[in-house]
Amino acid sequence: MSAPKTMFEKVWAAHEVVPQTADTPAVIFIDLHLTHEVTSPQAFSLLKSRGLKVRRPDLTLATMDHATPTRTEQVFGGAPISIESAAKQIRQLEVNCAEFGVELLGLQDSRRGIVHIIGPELGVTQPGKTIVCGDSHTSTHGAFGALAFGIGTTEVGHVMATQCLLQKKPKTFAIEVSGRLRPGVTPKDLILAIIGKVGVSGGTGYVFEYRGEAIREMDMEQRMTICNMSIEAGARAGMIAPDEVTFAYLKDKPRSPKGAAWDDAVAYWRSLPTDEGATFDKTIEIDASSLEPMITYGTNPGMVVPISGKIPDRRGDVVFDAAMKYMGLTPGAPITNAPVNVVFIGSCTNGRLGDLQAAAKVLKGQRVAPGVQMLVVPGSQEVKREAEQLGLHEIFKQAGAEWRESGCSMCLGMNGDTVAKGEYAVSTSNRNFEGRQGIGARTLLASPETAAASAIRGRVTDPREFII
Amino acid sequence: MDPITVIRSRTVVMPSTNIDTDQIVPARFLTTTTKEGLGKQLFADWRYDAAGQPKPDFILNRPEAAGCRVLVAGRNIGCGSSREHAPWALVDFGFQAVISTEIADIFRNNSLKNGLLPIIVDEATHAWLLANPGVEVEIDLTNSSLKLPDGRSVTFPIDGFARYCLTNGVDELGFLLSKDAEIKAYEARRRA
Ligand code: SF4
C-alpha cells in the first residue's frame, strides 16, 4: 500500500502536468478558471499582444461582481452606472468575453453573482478540482474539497493561454476543531477566532485543512464561510473533506455530473479525504465549544475579541496604536460600547441564503435604530430570488434596511456602495483594512446575527440577546 | 521584461506592520483596464489629503525618497487582496525591490512577475534597515546577496526558477507555452 496522503497531496498529484524539479516549479493543470471584470482586462490584453487564444473556454467562466452596481435601476436600466470607469470595465469584459469565446454571466443574467457564490450554485465547484480566480477569496471553493486559490492578473493570463499554472508545492496545515459551536455562535465566529489564534501571516506558505466535529456538522454554506477567510490568516487555500453533505448539495445542481457520470464522480470524491495516518507539516487545535460570538476591533482580521470582552490594551505596540488611532476606539473598553452607523450584510463570506435567514431571524418584527443605515445585499441573483420567495426581503425592508441586487457592494469601496469617513460599520465581509469600505471607514467584522443585532441597538450587540 | 542583475539604491523605509494591498492601491482605483500610471495612486490614502494634495510629511512625498528603488517595509507586507495593481503601482512609482521579514504569498508571486524583487531578510538585518532609513544598499540577484553600507552582506532566499527568469528577462508564459506537448498529454488522460 502506498503511504497515507493528505487530501491536498492527492489533489495536487492528480493535477501535475510536469512535476516540480530542483530547478523549476510544477506545471499544474487547472480544472476551472473563474474570472471577473476587475482582474481580467490586463490579462486579455496580454493574450492579444501575443496573438494567443483562450485555450479552454469550456473550463472558463466569467461574471461581474466587484465594480458592479447594486441599485436595480443601474443594473436593469433606467439610470446610468454611477461610476464611469466601472461602467467601462464592465463593457470591456463583455467585449473581451465575446472576442475570446468565454461564457459570461453578465450584468442582467439571472445566474450572475459574486464569483465565489455562483460557482457552487451552478455546480461547477466540485471536490478534487483545481480552481483559480483572480481574487484572493477563491479559497471559498475549498469547502468542497477542491484545491482553490487566488492568483494575480499575469497568472490569469497564463491560465487563459495554457490552462496551467507554475506553482511551488505549498505545505499543509491541519486546523483541528473539536467540540460543537454553542447556540448563537456561528462559523464566522469560529473562523475569526482561528485567524486570531493563527495570526494574519501564520498561514503563509500553507494550505489549511479544517477538520473535526464542528466542521463535519456544518452545512455547505457554513463550510464556505470558513474556507473563504483562510486567506486572512495568510493561507492561499483552505480545504474541507467532501462527505455526504457535500454530495447532497451538489446533486442536481445545473452543472453537476448527471446519471452514470454522477456515480463515477461520487466514487472518485469518496477517495479524496485525507488518509488515516497522513501527516501535516503543522497542526493547531481549537475547541469550538469554548467560543462566543466574535468581532474585530482593529484594522486586520486577527484583531478580534469575544463580544462580551474588552478591547485589549496594548498601548506602546505600534500596530495596535495605529489601529486604535484609525478606529477611534478606547483600549480596555468593552467592545459593546462601540457605536454603529452602518450595517452591511452580504459578501462572499456571508451573502448566502442561510446568512440572510439568520439575519432575518434576528430582525423580524424589529426596527433598525434611528440613524443607522443597513444594507442587505444577496450574494447572487439566485440567492436574491430564493430570499424573496421566503419573504426575507419584506422582513429587511420592514425593519428599515435596504435590499439590493447582488454584488460585492460594501465589501470593498469600488462600486458606489461605501461607508463614509469616520463611520463605524458592522460588516459581515472579510476585511477590516483601513479604507477597505471607503476612505476613512471603520469596519468591525462579525456574523450576520451580530450585525443584525447591532443594527437594532445602534451599538455593537451580542446577538444572543435576540436569538436564545 | 528587462533582465535584472544588480540594483544599487538608497532605501525608503515604511515601518508599518501588515501593509496590505488595499493600502498599496485602494480599491476605488481598480476600475482601470491598463497597468500604466498606477504609481500616482500608490499609497493614495496615506499620501494625499482629502483635497488630493500630497501630505508633505508622508515618506514618499519627501525629497529624500526621490529616485529610491528599494522599499523597506514592516513585517508581512502585501497581505490581503490578490490585486496585481499593487506591484504594478510600486513598479510604476520606480521601486525594483521590497524588503521585509515576511511577504505575503500572492503579492510575492505577483511581484516576481513584474520585475519587483521580494526580499526576505532576518530580523536583525531588518531591524537595522528600519533604524537606518535612506542608506545605500546593493542587491545582487546573481548570488542572492544584499550588501549593506557597512560592508555586511546577507543572502536572501529566492526560488531558482524565478531568479533565472528575472536575470535573463525570460517570462514564465513563454516557459508554460513550451510545455504544450505535456499539456496535451495531460488533457488526453485527464478525468472529463
Ligand atoms: S465580496 Fe468582497 S471579498 Fe468577496 S469577492 Fe467580492 S470584494 Fe472580494
Give domain status of residue B154, yes or no.
yes
Which amino acid residue places its CA nearest to atom 6 of ligand 1? Answer: A408
Q: Note whether A164 and A151 are within 8 A (CB).
A: no
In this structure, the strands spanning A206-211 and A147-150 are unpaired
Q: Is the pLDDT of residue A366 over 70?
A: yes
* Cβ contact, residue pair B22, A236, below 8 Å: no
Of the candidate ranges A71-75, A220-224, A344-348, B162-166, the one whose mean pLDDT is the lowest: B162-166
Distance, in Å, from the CA atom of A151 to the CA atom of A171, rounded to the nearest integer, reads 18
Whole-number pLDDT of residue B192? 57
Query: What is the full DSSP assignment across A167-193?
Result: EPPPEEEEEEEES-PPTT--HHHHHHH
Which atom of ligand 1 sits closest to the CA of residue A347?
1
pLDDT band (50, 70, 90) for residue B151: very high
Q: For A98-108, what is the mean pLDDT?
A: 98
Alpha-carbon distances of A99 from A48, A57, B34, rounded to whole Å? 10, 11, 18
Tell me the shortest Cα–Cα distance from A132 to chain B, in angstroms: 12
Give domain status of residue B1, yes or no.
no
Whole-number pLDDT of residue A114? 98
* Residue whose C-alpha is closest to residue A464's, from A295, A251, A298: A295
pLDDT band (50, 70, 90) for residue A150: very high
Q: Is the pLDDT of residue B138 over 80?
A: yes
Give domain status of residue B165, yes or no.
yes
Q: Give contacts of A200 with chain B, Cβ < 8 Å.
A: 18, 76, 79
* Chain position carrying cell 467601462: A88
Q: Determine whether the shortest distance from the Cβ of A68 to ligand 1 is under 6 A.
A: no
* Residue whose C-alpha is closest to residue B51's, from A139, A251, A439: A439
Give which of A49, A126, A135, A153 to mutate to test B binding, by max B Cβ within 10 Å: A153
Whole-number pLDDT of residue A35? 98
How confident is the model over A445-465, as pLDDT tens digits? 999 999 999 999 999 999 999
With a CB cutoff of 8 Å and minimum separation 6, the contacts of A196 are A294, A302, A303, A304
Q: Give the mutation target among A131, A137, A427 for probing the ligand 1 site: most ligand atoms within 8 A of CB.
A: A137
Q: Tell how far the Cα of A358 is from the centroid of ligand 1, in angstroms.
A: 20
How confident is the model over B64-98, as pLDDT tens digits? 999 999 999 999 999 999 999 999 999 999 999 99
Give domain status of residue B69, yes or no.
yes
> Considering chain A, what percentage of its residues have pLDDT values greater than 90?
98
Whole-number pLDDT of residue A1? 58
In this structure, the strands spanning A16-18 and A26-29 are antiparallel
Q: For A167-195, what is the mean pLDDT?
A: 97
Whole-number pLDDT of residue A26? 97
Alpha-carbon distances of A228 from A97, A142, A191, A220, A276, rounded to whole Å? 27, 8, 9, 12, 26
Residue A381 CA, chain-centre distance (Å), reads 17
Q: For A313-317, what is the mean pLDDT?
A: 96
* Residue whose C-alpha is closest to residue A127's, from A141, A146, A149: A146
In chain A, what are the helix, strand and coil shares in percent, each to the nearest 5? 40, 20, 45
Residue A118 CA, chain-centre distance (Å), reads 12
Q: Is any Cβ of chain B less than 8 angstroms from the Cβ of A112? A: no
Q: Is the pLDDT of residue B171 over 60?
A: yes
Q: Is any Cβ of chain B less than 8 angstroms from the Cβ of A25? A: yes
Q: For all residues of chain A together, what is the average pLDDT?
A: 97
How confident is the model over B8-64, as pLDDT tens digits? 999 999 999 999 999 999 999 999 999 999 999 999 999 999 999 999 999 999 999
pLDDT band (50, 70, 90) for residue B2: confident
Total domains present in chain B:
1
Give domain status of residue B128, yes or no.
yes
Q: For A380-403, what is the mean pLDDT?
A: 98
Q: Tell how far the Cα of A348 is from the centroid of ligand 1, in angstroms.
A: 6
Which atom of ligand 1 sits closest to the CA of residue A65?
6
Q: For A269-277, what is the mean pLDDT?
A: 98
Distance, in Å, from the CA atom of A431 to the CA atom of A413, rounded to the nearest integer, reads 12
Q: Is any Cβ of chain A less than 8 angstroms from the Cβ of B175? A: yes
pLDDT band (50, 70, 90) for residue B121: very high
Which amino acid residue places its CA nearest to atom 2 of ligand 1? Answer: A411
CATH number assigned to the domain comprising residue B145? 3.20.19.10
Q: Determine whether the shortest distance from the Cβ of A429 to ligand 1 is under 6 A.
A: yes
Q: Hey, what amino acid is at A383?
A: V
Boundaries of domain holding B180 = 6-191
With a CB cutoff of 8 Å and minimum separation 6, the contacts of B143 are B155
Q: Note whether A413 and A436 are within 8 A (CB).
A: yes
Q: Tell how far the Cα of A347 is from the centroid of ligand 1, in angstroms.
A: 6
Q: Is the pLDDT of residue A63 over 90?
A: yes
Helix (H, G, I), strand (E, B) or coil at B20: strand
Give domain status of residue B175, yes or no.
yes
Q: Note whether A409 and A150 are within 8 A (CB).
A: no
* Cβ contact, residue pair B113, A413, below 8 Å: no
Residue A345 backbone dihedrals phi, psi, to 5 degrees = -115, 120
**Taking the CB of residue B36, how many other CB atoms lie within 10 A of it?**
9
Whole-number pLDDT of residue B3? 87
* Cβ contact, residue pair A150, B84, below 8 Å: no
How confident is the model over A213-240, as pLDDT tens digits? 999 999 999 999 999 999 999 999 999 9
Name the residue of chain B whose CA is nearest to A235's CA. Answer: B105
Which atom of ligand 1 sits closest to the CA of residue A429?
2
Helix (H, G, I), strand (E, B) or coil at B140: strand
Q: Tell how far the Cα of A254 is from the centroid of ligand 1, in angstroms.
A: 24
Q: Give contacts of B104 with chain A, Cβ < 8 Å.
A: 201, 204, 234
Give domain status of residue B169, yes or no.
yes
- Read off the pTM: 0.97
* Cβ contact, residue pair A41, B34, below 8 Å: yes
Strand order in the sheet with A130-133: A103-105, A60-63, A32-35, A130-133, A147-150
Name the residue of chain B whose CA is nearest to A168's CA. Answer: B159
How confident is the model over A8-53, as pLDDT tens digits? 999 999 999 999 999 899 999 999 999 999 999 999 999 999 999 9
Which amino acid residue places its CA nearest to atom 4 of ligand 1? Answer: A348
Distance, in Å, from the CA atom of A329 to the CA atom of A424, rounded to the nearest integer, reads 10
